[in-house]
Chains A and B, each alone.
Chain A
Amino acid sequence: MREGPETAALLTTLKRVAIILKDAGVPFALSGSFAAYARGATASDHDVDFAVLPGDVERAVDALARAGLEPVRVAEDWLAKMYDDARQVDLIYRPSEHPVTPEMLGRAAPMKVNSIHVPVLDATDLMVMLLRAFTEHHCDFSAPLEIARALREQVDWPAVRAATADSPYAHAFLVLLRHLAVIGPNEENPMAREEPQYLAGHLQQALAEDPRTGALGIRVRVHGTDVHLSGDLPSRERRRMVLAVAREMVPDYVVHDDLSVDPMEGDTEEERLA
C-alpha cells in the first residue's frame, strides 16, 4: 500500500471523526474516495467524506465541533465542511440533489479501516454517487475509472445504470467501462445480448411500439457494436426522441444517427393529369 504522510494523516482524521460520530449516536457511513479505499481502491490524499442524513447534519457538526474540529461556512446546500487541523472533512447529506437515506446507511457494511470498524457505503451506492456527480464542468473520468476498476465485482451495475439513466455523463462513463471490458454487457436489458439480426428486428419493433416514438419504418442495421438508424421523421424533436429511446434500449451499442427530418421545402407546383 502506497500511503504518503498526507494519507496517513487523513486516516487518523477518519478514525477520529468516526469515533466521535459513533459516540454521538449519529448514523453515518464512510463515503467518497476513502470508502473506495476501504473497498480496495488506492488511498486518496485529498479529503475524508462521510454520508449523513439531512436531519442529522447539525447534530454531527455540533458533536465534531465539541471535539475540537473547526466548522467552515459553505454556500453549498448538500454538504457541511469541517477542518481537523489542515485536513478537510465533508459531511455529505444531499449529493447531486439525492438526499442520503436511512436505507442507504443501512446498506453500508462495517469494514476495518485503520484498525477500527467503520460503516462503509455500499459499492453500488458509492458508484451511483460518483456517476451522478458528473456535470458539464466536472466530468473527469480518471479517478472514478480507477475506482470502478477496483470495485467492479462489488457493484451491481444494472442498478447503477438504472439509477443514473437520466445523466448523459453517467451513460458515457458506462459505455467507456463496457468498451474497456471493465463491465460486461448490460444483463438487465435482454436486447443487449441478442444476435445482431434479432437485435435489429426487435429494436425496429420497439421504436414503433414505444409511445414516445411511434415510429414505424425506421431502418435498423447492426454492425459489431454500432447501430445505424435511418429513415424520415416529421420533426427534429421526434428525431431526437427516436435516438434517445434507441440509446436507452441498446445502451451498450453506439447508436448512429442516419435519420432525416421530412423537409417540406419543396414547391407545391401542381401536376396536370390530362
Chain B
Amino acid sequence: MIRIAAVGDVHLDEEMRGHYRSRLDGLADSADVLLLAGDLTKHGTAEEGDVVAAEFRGLGVPVVAVLGNHDYHCDAQDAITEGLRAEGITVLEGDGVTLDSPGGRIGIAGTKGFGGGFAGKCASEFGEPEIKGFVRHGRQVAHRFGAALRDLDADLRVGLTHYAPVKDTLAGEPPEIYPFLGSYLLAEAVDGAKVGLAVHGHAHAGVECGLTPGGVRVRNVALPVLRRPYAVYRLEAVPEPVAV
C-alpha cells in the first residue's frame, strides 16, 4: 500500500507564515509523500516562495510540487522553484521523480498544465497569434507531461498538475470558465500511461472526486475544496483501471 498526501492552492504569503505548518504534525505518520498541486503563493513573489519553502521543508516525508498560475504572476517562477529546491522540495515541470516507499516505488510526473478546455468545446490553434499561442502552450505542456508519465519506472504512477485534466472535478465552477480551468489533453496524457491517480488543484469551487475517460481516479485537492489541511489517498501499487 502506498499513501499519498496532497493539497493545492494554499496561497501563502508572509502574514500566513507558520499557520500551515502547524497543521502538518501528523503527516509523516499518515503518508509516504506530500504532493503540492500549485498556487502555493498569493501572487507569485520570491518572498512568498520563501514562506512556502519554510512551511513545507523537513516534514519527514518527501514533498513534490508543481507551480500554479499564481506562482507565475510576478515572473518569479524560477526564483520560487530554486527556493523550494534549496529546502529539499522537488519541483516538477514536464518531468518526473521516483521515490522509494515501504509500499513500493512511487513515480510522480508533474506539470503546471494549462487551460484550453475539454473535448469538443475547446479552442484550436487557428486564427490570431494570441489564440494560437494559448492553445499551443496547453498542447506543449500536456505533451511533455505525457512523456514524463510514460518514462516513470515505478510500481505506482501519479500525475500531478495544477490545472484540471477533467470536467468532473469542476462541478460548481461556472461552465463559461472551464477553458481557463483545465484541458482534456492532460487527461489524455494520464490515460496514455497506466496512471493510478491524477491530482490537481486550481478549481476552488469544484469538487474533490472525478474520473478520466480512461477510468483513472482524479482528485481536486484545492484547499477550499478539501476543507482540511491535506487529503490522504491509499492505493495499491499498479492498480487496474476501474470500469467505466
Contacts and interface: CB of A to CB of B under 8 A. Distances in A.
A5 interface: no
B130 interface: no
A214 B239 contact: no
B73 A214 contact: yes
Contact of A271 (B196, B204, B232): B232
Given A238-B42, A271-B231, A266 B239 contact: no
A264 B224 CA distance: 9
Contacts of B132: none
Contacts, number: 75
Interface string B213-235: 00001000001101111111111
Interface string A254-272: 0000000011111111111
B42 A214 contact: yes
A271 B9 CA distance: 20
A243 to B, nearest CB: 15
Contacts of B204: 217, 231-232
Main secondary structure of the interface of A (DSSP, over half): loop
A272 B239 CA distance: 12
Contacts of B30: 268, 270
B26 interface: yes
A119 B102 CA distance: 86
Given A232-B224, A273-B197, A268 B230 contact: yes
A273 B223 contact: no
B228 A266 contact: yes
Nearest to A218: B204
Interface string B167-201: 00000000000000000000000000000110000
A264 B228 contact: yes
B128 interface: no
Interface string B62-105: 00000001100100000000000000000000000000000000
A135 interface: no
Contact of A270 (B217, B223, B234): B234
B45 to A, nearest CB: 9
Nearest to A232: B224
Nearest to B1: A272
B227 A265 contact: yes
A237 interface: yes
A162 interface: no
A209 to B, nearest CB: 9
A211 interface: yes
A75 interface: no
Given A234-B10, A238-B42, A273-B239, A266 B70 contact: no
A274 interface: yes
B234 A273 contact: yes
Nearest to A273: B235
Contact of B217 (A217, A235, A262, A273): A273
Max chain B Cβ within 10 angstroms of own Cβ: one of A211, A238, A273, A274: A273
B228 A265 contact: yes
Contact of B236 (A211, A231, A268, A274): A274
Contacts of B13: 238
Given A237-B15, A262-B224, A268 B235 contact: no
Interface in A183-219: 211, 214, 216-217
Contacts of A264: 23, 223, 227-229
Given A217-B205, A235-B15, A268 B228 contact: yes
A197 to B, nearest CB: 14
A52 to B, nearest CB: 43
A167 to B, nearest CB: 23
Nearest to B43: A214
Interface in A41-77: none
B136 interface: no
A266 B43 contact: no
B43 A269 contact: no
B11 interface: yes
B228 A267 contact: yes
A1 B24 CA distance: 73
A77 B204 CA distance: 52
B24 to A, nearest CB: 10
Nearest to B70: A214
Given A238-B11, A262-B227, A268-B230, 17 more contacts: A216-B69, A231-B204, A234-B223, A235-B15, A262-B223, A264-B228, A265-B228, A266-B228, A266-B229, A268-B5, A268-B26, A268-B30, A268-B229, A269-B232, A273-B217, A273-B239, A274-B239
Interface of B: 3, 5, 9-13, 15-16, 19, 23, 26, 30, 42-44, 69-70, 73, 196-197, 204-205, 217, 223-224, 226-236, 239
Q: Which 5 A-B pairs have the closest CB atoms?
A: A266-B228, A214-B43, A270-B232, A232-B224, A234-B11
